[in-house]
Amino acid sequence: MSERNIRDLEEGIERDLSGLNYGSYLQLDLLLSAQQPVSDNHDEMLFIIQHHVTELWIKLVIHELSAAMRFIADDQLGPSLKCLARIKHIQHQMTEQWSVLATLTPSEYLKFRGSLGKASGFQSVQYRLLEFLLGNKNRSMLEVFAHDLQAQERLRAALEAPSLYDEFIMLLSRRGYAVPPELLTRSWDEPHVLNSGLVAVFATVYENPKEHWDIYETCEELVDVEDTFQSWRFRHLKTVERIIGARKGTGGSSGTSFLKRALDLTFFPELYAVRTELT
């Protein structure tokens, strides 16, 4: 007689799940009912879940990034570094999941692409908010969200407030570093532009890391965040290229050409420029 291949429930395991339980705490009825394909194509479920998961990860990145910015504004670099480290790992997850969407072949995608209408990831409020928090400011993007005044105001608030990098630069000034004054009085709704004076500040830090350790460590964490973000952008580009080639995007963009231009954007230009200046 074969052995029983059954694991008995332990005595202490809860059997009365009335009240707060796993499903109700996570609101799984709501979460798992959100996947509503608009076609009868099998592969559309993959497409929806991929984007739902990405939006959830972006929500967590925004949560951590906002906390990091508050910590930096309060001169608490230690807790901010923990948030930035967590963001890196979230971004790795976001990047790796492109390999799942890449299993969608061009012929499979074309069977339901027409059902998507003009829906596009370009229209993600959370993604745009994330870009603004990281410093890629663009006031014209507010027009895209004129249909949703609440989202538009949320974006406007982030557009007109200091970015993560701005908060770090202001901390440097409070610490006594020779930050060029124009970086402290500029309009926050404009993207940061490479400043040679700030490169010189970072050169001082990188040439004597032991004397400036927490600043040095923060610089490297910021580079990690940008590096992993660019890796995500690149994998996005290559996945789109693999699935639709040079076709236009559903939202009207040029598709891969539009995504390629994003790879030229940088959030923290001085942290890359300083590497060339070190002697």
- 195-200 long-range contacts (CB < 8 A, ≥24 apart) are 195/270, 198/169, 198/270, 199/270, 199/273, 199/274, 199/277, 200/277
Tell me whether residue 236 is annotated as binding.
yes
CA–CA separation, 77 and 243 (whole Å): 42
Burial class for 40, CB neighbours closer than 10 Å (0-12, 13-18, 19+): exposed
Tell me whether residue 250 is annotated as binding.
yes
Tell me whether residue 49 is annotated as binding.
yes
Tell me whether residue 113 is annotated as binding.
yes
Tell me whether residue 50 is annotated as binding.
yes
Tell me whether residue 92 is annotated as binding.
no
Tell me whether residue 51 is annotated as binding.
yes
Tell me whether residue 47 is annotated as binding.
yes
Residue positions forming the annotated binding site: 47-51, 109, 113, 236, 250
Residue positions forming the annotated binding site for heme: 236
Residue positions forming the annotated binding site for substrate: 47-51, 109, 113, 250
